[in-house]
Amino acid sequence: MKRPLITSIAAVFLLFSTSVLNAGGSINISDLNALLGQQPALWKFYSEHFDISPHGGGLRLSSQGIPLRGCRVGPYEFPAKLKGAIGGYDLKLTIITDLYFLDSRGKEVTDQKLATKKEEVLTGISLGPFKAPGRDGSFVQSSD
């Protein structure tokens, strides 16, 4: 069985210190159709109950010398709001994944310099405030 390289948000922050990941990588929700298709009932629930911006972000592999440099990886974040709600997005939908690095034969590797492809497994979707509330409890809203 494959062992995940990233299993939690804490692991993501640990990887930040290795300079393999870099914040900032825009992505369209349609680019994640195969990933979201791994758990169709879960995705159906969120897409039926929330308006989700088609534009979001993910982490970007950025170290020099790795073949997958520039690839987007989870967690992915998208602005969202309750279905039909008036106004801007006031929620953040986070798509959580486990990440595996694979060599050209599809075998898992732990050294990203040997990886020629990546595989992600959808492990969850969470929802939270888009931005921290102000002193008065209101959210700073954004629109797409």
Give 89-100 pLDDT, tens digit per residue.
Answer: 999 999 999 999
Residues 6+ away with beta carbon under 8 Å from 108: 2, 3, 100, 101, 102
Please provide the average confidence, as pLDDT, over all residues in the chain: 79
**Residue 45 backbone phi and psi in degrees, to 5:** -60, -50
> What pTM did the predictor assign?
0.74
Percent of the chain whose pLDDT exceeds 90: 54
Ordered by start, the domain boundaries in the chain are 9-129
Q: pLDDT tens digits for 6-60?
A: 443 334 333 433 344 445 678 999 999 999 999 999 999 999 999 999 999 998 8
